[in-house]
Amino acid sequence: MGTHVASEDRYDSVEYRRCGHSGLHLPRLSLGLWQNFGSDRDLEGQRRILLRAFDLGVFHLDLANNYGPPPGSAEENLGRILARDLRPHRDELVITTKAGYVMGPGPHQHGGSRKYLLSSLDRSLRRMGLDYVDVFYSHRPDPETPLEETMLALHHAVVSGRAMYAGISSYGPAATREAARIMRELGTPLVVHQPSYSMLNRWVEDGLLAAADDEGMGVVAFSPLAQGVLTSRYLGGDVPADSRAGVGRPSWREHMLSDTVLERARGLNEIAAERGQSLAQMAISWVLRDQGPRTVTTALVGASSVEQLEHNLGALDAPEFTDEELRRVDRWAVESDVNIWAGATAGRP
């Protein structure tokens, strides 16, 4: 098959917002390639999801060097689909990647060193067949590397033309402010922070959303469905064999389906049903709810099928939450120890 013929009304389908103080715009819902785009998934199925997303106005595709499995395969698969179908639309796409987590053995295959970040970015570009990415992130803070070195690497990625913009992920409020200060002085401001955020993982409300707003950064929220806990898959207490819990993904923890967590998910599900939404749709709507200047720019969702993608996009059609609904949500939407990335911020608060 040849080049995909894109829908002419693709920008009429979804709202998009400016990312912080930059000129970069992102759709309100973006597609994350973390879990469903590795070599263990059918490439044709991945292609259908990506093309449907683009036709529905989801032009932001988020990756990292270690996405798969195995690490690197999500970027390779995206590269194949870009070459086959979406190359004429490269200028419309916002493609982002990261480096920071482990990619291989030795001291220069993880962390925040200049050597690792820039060599990893070069490999990512080769895997995707790209000349540049739109955002290059420091995937996590590294307490063993000076923050100045990590930020200089991001700065160099931009000034060398490998990336259009720079961002950080999972940095705490104080480290976010310091990183932003360093980058401003270098002349390459950070435009985006990517933290985990969901109804069961609200750490960003304790200073991070305020820091991002103060520093002029957009916020890309990942894991708004708490890795599937905030969907209908586990509400009955069973674990489907093909689910993240059933497959035993490395990012999964057994306590995520404790009786307490399931009780909270069921309480939230009742509110969602009254709103005419699924639990997953309400979880996305809630992350994107109006919080004034601290409102999240976009939420990243994965998709294992076109149907799941379209269902998640339905969250954008929901009415705003009433004050009473938010009060009821707060009864159940409490910290539930599902933030497996919390340790990443331990060295830099």
Residue 60 has pLDDT above 60, yes or no: yes
pLDDT for the residue numbered 96: 99
Answer whether residue 18 shows pLDDT above 60.
Answer: yes
d(CA 120, CA 103): 9
Q: What is the pTM of this model?
A: 0.94
Based on its alpha-carbon atoms, the radius of gyration of the chain, rounded to whole angstroms, reads 19
**Number of alpha carbons in the 13 Å side-chain half-sphere of residue 225:** 21
Q: Which CATH number fits domain 14-333: 1.10.10.10, 3.30.450.40, 3.20.20.100, 3.40.30.10?
A: 3.20.20.100
Task: State the pLDDT at residue 245.
Answer: 47
SS3 219: strand
With the C-alpha atoms ordered 211, 66, 344, 264, is the resulting torsion angle positive or negative?
positive
For 90, phi and psi rounded to 5 degrees? -55, -40
For residue range 82-110, what is the model confidence (pLDDT) as tens digits?
A: 999 999 999 999 999 999 999 999 999 99
| Range in 199-203, 232-236, 286-290 the model is least confident about | 232-236
SS (H, E, C) 114-179: HHHHHHHHHHHHHHHCCCCEEEEEECCCCCCCCHHHHHHHHHHHHHCCCEEEEEEECCCHHHHHHH
How far are the Cα atoms of 227, 295, 317, 322, 324 from residue 271, in angstroms, in the given order?
A: 20, 22, 17, 12, 11
> For residue 243, is pLDDT > 60?
no
Residue 165 has pLDDT above 80, yes or no: yes
Phi, psi of 129 (to 5 degrees): 70, 35
Tell me which amino acid residue 49 is.
I
The bridge status of strand 60-62 relative to strand 163-169 is: unpaired
Domain residue spans in the chain? 14-333
If you average pLDDT over residues 25-39, what whole number do you get? 97
pLDDT of residue 168: 98
- Confidence (pLDDT) at 247: 46
H or E, element range at 60: strand 60-62
